[in-house]
């Protein structure tokens, strides 16, 4: 499954956040035989629609979709030159599908900032620059070989052109992801360039920031179109020790209506380009993970690979229509249940039953 790699400068609260993520780990609860890797935190994607489906279908259990975060050892200035944890860091980041940067916004004189002051914009630039430099190094090494091979193999001309275009973008200080529309990133996929990955920013904030809408908007604008999440990592880890009532009180005291881990899960899911569809019955109400834009047969394949090949059609009702109707029978009577074929592109909130042949 796809993962987000958690990165950030030292002392910004990565470990604190990651501990909260692993203590909230759902694998242990729902999949007792799953292998749990120490550096991966798997959290549920909150989805109130599943509670409603479970009530309508009298389901025995609810299985939400999940999002996986990988803890990646600290980045430092100079990582691209192999300083400190540099090389291991870059190797780990290559394996992640998106980059989740924790940025310190909280003020606390007891916690030293590596650069001596709290400066989110500069922290973001430090990490971005290291990744850009690392990609430039990769290209500098790869290009001479590619150019040489392209003389013998004309098929490589596109790859060379794409690599050169990527090099120009990086030279101008921009990430490849930010310029993906004008680049042929598929042609350079084998180079595993890191700035082709989407970014998500987690602003580790304190109460003064969490309740300051203008400040949050400023930070959101600074990283747009990337997603921004605001949370207090220390509070997030404290929340997990409290019962529901005390947790709500603590959240309320810092002006929040839900745990930051919930918004982090949603933003992570979105950054990875994922979407869910829903199935429901007496056994379970469940959210299944697909890529945005997937067709119905692809979606069926997530349940079982055979289902993609044997796909005939899908019976689909939107969650909102089912919710309003109150039962599948009532939704059918109201003409809200559709039959969709193999070209149908799945929509968020589709409640589905697939029909198969063999």
Q: Which residues carry a binding-site annotation?
A: 11-16
Of 15 and 30, which has the nearer Cβ to ligand GDP? Answer: 15
Encoded one letter per residue, x for contact with ligand GDP by CB under 6 A and - for no contact, window 9-28 reads: -xxxxxxx------------
Nearest approach in angstroms of CB 233 to ligand GDP is 4
Number of residues located near ligand GDP, criterion CB under 6 A: 16
7 vs 160 by CB, closer to ligand GDP: 7
Tokens of 143: 């290009």
- Residue whose CB is less far from ligand GDP, 147 or 206: 206
| 3-class state of residue 141 by DSSP | helix
CA pair distance 190, 171, nearest whole angstrom: 20
Closest by CA position to 276, among listed 217, 335, 351: 351
Q: How many CA atoms lie within 13 A of 299 on its CB side?
A: 33
Put residue 11 in one of left, alpha, beta given phi > 0 → left and psi -120 to 50 → alpha.
left
The residue of the chain with the least Cβ separation from ligand GDP equals 13
Q: Classify residue 23 by burial, with Cβ atoms within 10 Å: 0-12, 13-18, 19+.
A: middle
DSSP state of 187: G
Q: Find the part of the chain contacting ligand GDP (CB under 6 A) among 6-14, 116-124, 253-261, 277-285.
A: 6-14
Q: Which stretch binds ligand GDP (CB under 6 A): 8-16, 88-96, 215-223, 267-275?
A: 8-16
Is the four-CA dihedral 98, 100, 101, 105 of positive or negative sign?
Answer: positive
- Peptide linkage before 339 cis (omega within 30 of 0): no
Q: Is 111 in the site for ligand GDP (CB under 6 A)?
A: yes
Tell me whether residue 135 or residue 232 sits nearer to ligand GDP (CB atom): 232
Residues 275 to 304 in contact with ligand GDP, rule: CB under 6 A: none
Cβ–Cβ < 8 Å for 187, 158: yes
Binding residues for ATP: 11-16
Q: Does the protein bind ligand GDP through residue 8 (CB under 6 A)?
A: yes
Binding mask 185-224 for ligand GDP (x = CB under 6 A): -------------------x-x------------------
CA distance 186 to 162: 9
Q: Where does this chain bind ligand GDP (CB under 6 A)?
A: 8, 10-16, 106, 108, 111, 204, 206, 232-234
């Amino acid at each position: 499954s796809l993962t987000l790699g958690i990165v950030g400068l030292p002392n910004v609260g990565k470990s604190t956040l990651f501990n909260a993520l692993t203590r909230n780990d759902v694998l242990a609860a729902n999949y007792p035989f799953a292998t749990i890797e120490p550096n991966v935190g798997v959290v549920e994607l909150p989805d109130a629609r599943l509670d409603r489906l479970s009530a309508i279908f009298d389901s025995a259990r609810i299985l939400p979709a999940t999002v996986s975060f990988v803890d990646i050892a600290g980045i430092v200035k100079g990582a691209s030159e192999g300083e400190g944890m540099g090389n291991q860091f870059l190797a780990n980041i290559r394996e992640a599908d998106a980059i989740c940067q924790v940025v310190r916004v909280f003020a606390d004189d007891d916690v030293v900032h590596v650069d001596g002051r709290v400066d989110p914009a500069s922290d973001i630039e430090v990490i971005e620059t290291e990744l850009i430099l690392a990609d430039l190094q990769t290209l500098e090494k790869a290009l001479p070989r590619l150019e040489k091979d392209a003389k013998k193999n004309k098929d490589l001309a596109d790859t060379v052109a794409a690599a050169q275009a990527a090099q120009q973008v990086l030279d101008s200080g921009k990430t490849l992801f930010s310029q993906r529309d004008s680049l042929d990133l598929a042609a350079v996929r084998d180079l595993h360039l890191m700035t082709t990955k989407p970014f998500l920013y987690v602003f580790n904030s304190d109460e003064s920031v969490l309740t300051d809408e203008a400040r949050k908007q400023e930070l959101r604008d600074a990283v747009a179109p990337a997603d921004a999440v605001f949370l207090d990592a220390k509070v997030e880890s404290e929340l997990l020790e409290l019962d529901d009532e005390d947790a709500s009180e603590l959240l309320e005291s810092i002006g929040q209506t839900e745990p930051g881990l919930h918004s982090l899960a949603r933003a992570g899911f979105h950054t990875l380009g994922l979407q869910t569809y829903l199935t429901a019955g007496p056994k379970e109400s469940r959210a299944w993970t697909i890529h945005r834009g997937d067709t119905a047969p692809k979606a069926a394949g997530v349940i079982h690979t055979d289902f993609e090949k044997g796909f005939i059609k899908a019976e689909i009702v939107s969650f909102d229509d089912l919710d309003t109707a109150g039962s599948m029978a009532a939704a059918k009577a109201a003409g809200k249940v559709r039959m969709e074929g193999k070209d149908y592109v799945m929509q968020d909130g589709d409640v589905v039953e697939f029909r198969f042949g063999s």
